[in-house]
Structure 1
């Protein structure tokens, strides 16, 4: 079923498809209006925007209030965030009982969505059964602060899987769309869980529980690169060197520790295959060089690029995994 035919059936409550757009804001006034207008221009129109603002001190709340007045409170709802970082803010928004839909889209405050972003994601996920946890993500087009195109995020070609998710995030949260079954998985997260990155965690948990991850090689939005980015595109040589240094410094070990603690809590939801992968991964991390390489190979972990796999191998050799 295409998004066009879905829109034709929206009059029936049993067949309607709706999307909850979830956006977390913090001092985002500079680019917020352009993003809001890109929502308004979506070819798929049955959406509601839910915003969790983490105590902005600029004009962010004023802009949101203005759009809420124009669109109506049923189209735009605003909440106060937990003030514990962007990852926790998104998870807290996802867990709000007021947020109800068939699909859920994560959004940044400073991007610009292509007009068919929601439509394309819905078309892909509608091919799967609603009982299957599913997540859709795409490549992004990169722009500078004023909107000039400066490149694209890396193009991945290897299949999405839990073995990939365990050591690499596949797509940015700003491109992601998840279904209700995937949301049910994420709702099982403990409230006090430490979150490295909500996009990476969503990819890990959905695939660990036997769900489907769909990667779209075509961009769905302009990802603005500017001085206020919490997380940039990491595409330049300097960015890659910085990321590699973090890996060697032990940061990657800390991230894996955090994700594995969450997976341990979520064990009852994991597939048998995922548990085997985790077992080899954990034993390998605790073993000497020879055993480490052997167990990590048995785990099946991989990254999407040759460069990424070389850095993963070096990290394994140095015990930084």
Structure 2
């Protein structure tokens, strides 16, 4: 497993490194979705196809998506009906519907992609043999897309011991090469059945656990719009951190860990031998009492990206909140 955190890439605007299939989950996104669709159309990387799964919207989302599809070459944009079970299940449904062997990119309905987003991802992935998962920093923006700040740049390794307890590969920037996308497709049914909390956390766990190369780009890929109806918001403000700690000590986080465990148990054969052993020990730790769970986590070397975050995780475990 290797990690790249900053890229020096020479990108030819017309370079074709294979088709990227974009998976966009929509639900009542009519207020912002045109901006996102237009930003996809403006990508310097032209070899893309878009599948939009609309989760039974009651606004004008379906009409706007249909109008965008009609403006593009025939077959480039496909609209399907979502399962009606929330954003995570909608993204899992999209993975299930995606073609075999293609590169895949997740897309949220309310962001604005920077023109180089797909080109940088494709160029980075083209340097890797075997499964690879690319993600990038974003520019946090307000409701009107006025920039506020850039998201954090992670300094600790992006690896399975981190992925088991923290989501670090942002879904709205994630792009998977064909080999990594095939791993997602092999494991998606178990994730659907387990009703996992977060598709991007699950994808980070799966790709890192299977030994994929993790690529995290220090160059921002998109404007990450913050608004009152956003499914997920930024997690680096003091208020957001306080809310996360509240969920951790309230036991909600522990439920997410159990759902993730249920998603992996049927597909552990996909993991590397080392990571399969780590998963088995992690799984056993979740069934122990508080202090024993914390001790097992320490022995396994599980970590979050900050010392404070790791300490909070272990404290919650000691108190039996997992």
Question: How many residues matched?
Answer: 311
- On the 8 A contact 2:21/2:50 being kept in 1, the answer is yes
Q: TM-score, normalization: structure 2? A: 0.91
| Deviation (angstroms), 1:288 | 4.2
Q: TM-score, normalization: structure 1? A: 0.91
Inter-partner Cα distance in structure 1 for 2:82 and 2:117: 26
Tell me the equivalent position of 1:76: 77
Alignment of 1:5-16 (within 5 A): 7-8=14-15, 10=16
Inter-partner Cα distance in structure 2 for 1:92 and 1:290: 38
Tell me the equivalent position of 2:306: 305
| Deviation (angstroms), 1:2 | 5.5
Higher relative contact order (CA 8 A, sep 6+): 2
Alignment of 1:90 with 2:88, yes or no, is no
Residue aligned with 2:85, SS: coil
Inter-partner Cα distance in structure 2 for 1:276 and 1:94: 27
Tell me the equivalent position of 2:28: 27
Residue aligned with 1:64, SS: helix
Give the gaps of 5 or more residues in structure 2.
Answer: 1-8
Tell me the equivalent position of 2:173: 175
- On the 8 A contact 1:20/1:100 being kept in 2, the answer is no
Alignment of 1:185-224 (within 5 A): 185-188=183-186, 189-190=188-189, 191-224=192-225
Query: What does the per-residue CA deviation read over 1:239-276, in whole Å, with 9 as the maximum and x for residues that have no partner?
Result: 11111011111111100100011111111111111122
Query: What does the per-residue CA deviation read over 1:2-39, in whole Å, with 9 as the maximum and x for residues that have no partner?
Result: 6528x45x4xxxxx511111101111111111111111
Query: What does the per-residue CA deviation read over 1:206-230, in whole Å, with 9 as the maximum and x for residues that have no partner?
Result: 1111212211122110000001101
Alignment of 1:314 with 2:312, yes or no, is no
Farther off after superposition, 120-129 or 161-170: 120-129
Tell me the equivalent position of 2:112: 112
Inter-partner Cα distance in structure 2 for 1:310 and 1:197: 23
Tell me the equivalent position of 1:242: 243
Give the gaps of 5 or more residues in structure 1.
Answer: 11-15
Tell me the equivalent position of 2:229: 228
| Deviation (angstroms), 1:100 | 5.3
- On the 8 A contact 2:117/2:221 being kept in 1, the answer is yes
Residue aligned with 1:232, SS: coil
Farther off after superposition, 161-170 or 31-40: 31-40
Query: What does the per-residue CA deviation read over 1:271-311, in whole Å, with 9 as the maximum and x for residues that have no partner?
Result: 11112212332333333455333321221211111221121
